[in-house]
Amino acid sequence: MGVFKMSFKKFLPIIAILTVFFSFSIGFPGQAASQENIKIYIGGEEKLFDVPPQVFNGYTFLPIRGIFESLGAQVFWDNAQRRVTAVRKAVKISLKVGETSATVNGKSVKLDKAPLVYKGTTMVPVRFVSEALGEAVEWDQNARSVYIGGRAHFSPEFEPASTDKSFWQKAAGALGVGPRLITDGKITVDPISEGFSSEKILSYSMARSAIGVTANNMLLMVTVNRATIRELVSIMHSLGAYNAMNLDGGASSGLYYGGRYLTAPGRDLSNALIIYKKND
């Protein structure tokens, strides 16, 4: 998952963008993060360990016993050989401190960096968790968090709007938004033809929010501190939106991510569009 803040001088807004990635990267070389306050989530639940994730020479290391046991593995330590053995179902993993090769079911696996001992805890490069157990691993630099487990799939489907009552009876829930901003990669904003007559939509420059998807199914949730509808269209288009809709605006615009508001609403809100990690 990433969070970005951008300034578009042409429009003079400050944009807070929440992009939800549904594919995961598994290596984090080159990070310059400090060794404090790195959070770790397994299956969407935050986990606390005696020794939290650490960054050494630009590589993120995780405490192998805590991580593997949280994923259902048994972990054994051979002090004489300085070797860790972990077993989960049909998978057996063996590695030694200081060596850049490990075995997974007897097959040799190369590690980015050798496992090490830090404060009495064996630490392994984060990529190894994915290679050893087949778990999806994501590093969120902005939230300073590691996410392990669970692969999300996002395949939006678009259908023409319908006034047929039977069409809406099939829906378990619905969210009313508009006007449409971008359709199949083309700017199609036309508020009047969609029945909008308020100057807040037609001409005002104000706080706004929008939702969209890119051509490769990345979900975009965007808030802007000040823009007209047509400026909002340009912003969404520049972010790569293939389809996009205007959401609520003014004091109702809010964006919450990573335990804090990126854009704080100007009033109490009675409803919200929420995305969260769900355990299998």
Give tens-digit pLDDT for 197-207: 999 899 989 99
Residue-level pLDDT at 4: 31
pLDDT band, residue 216 (cuts 50/70/90)? low
Last residue of a domain, one of 148, 169, 192: 148
Strand arrangement, sheet containing 54-56: 54-56, 59-63, 121-125, 116-118
Last residue of a domain, one of 148, 168, 202: 148
* pLDDT at 29 exceeding the cut of 50: no
- Quick one: 189 and 170 in the same domain? yes
- Quick one: 13 and 57 in the same domain? no
Integer Cα distance of 164 and 45 in angstroms? 42
- Quick one: 121 and 47 in the same domain? yes
Domain span including residue 216: 3-21+156-263
Mean per-residue pLDDT, 107-124: 92
- Quick one: 235 and 180 in the same domain? yes
* pLDDT at 32 exceeding the cut of 60: no
Within-domain flag for 259: yes
Within-domain flag for 28: no
Look at the chain and report how many structural domains it folds into: 2
Which one is predicted more confidently, 33 or 272?
Answer: 272
When the pLDDT of each residue in the chain is averaged and rounded to a whole number, the result is: 79
**Under 8 Å between Cβ of 9 and 16:** no
Residue-level pLDDT at 18: 54
Within-domain flag for 30: no
pLDDT band, residue 175 (cuts 50/70/90)? confident
Residue-level pLDDT at 17: 54
Percent of all residues in the chain with a pLDDT value above 70, rounded to a whole number: 80
Mean per-residue pLDDT, 103-109: 90
- Quick one: 52 and 139 in the same domain? yes
Domain at 144, CATH number:
3.30.457.10
Say what the alpha-carbon torsion angle 59, 63, 67, 72 is, to the nearest 10 degrees. 130
If you average pLDDT over each of 9-13, 139-143, 144-148, 189-193, which comes out highest? 189-193
Within-domain flag for 96: yes
Integer Cα distance of 154 and 219 in angstroms? 9
* pLDDT at 249 exceeding the cut of 80: yes
- Quick one: 163 and 251 in the same domain? yes
pLDDT band, residue 84 (cuts 50/70/90)? very high
* pLDDT at 223 exceeding the cut of 50: yes
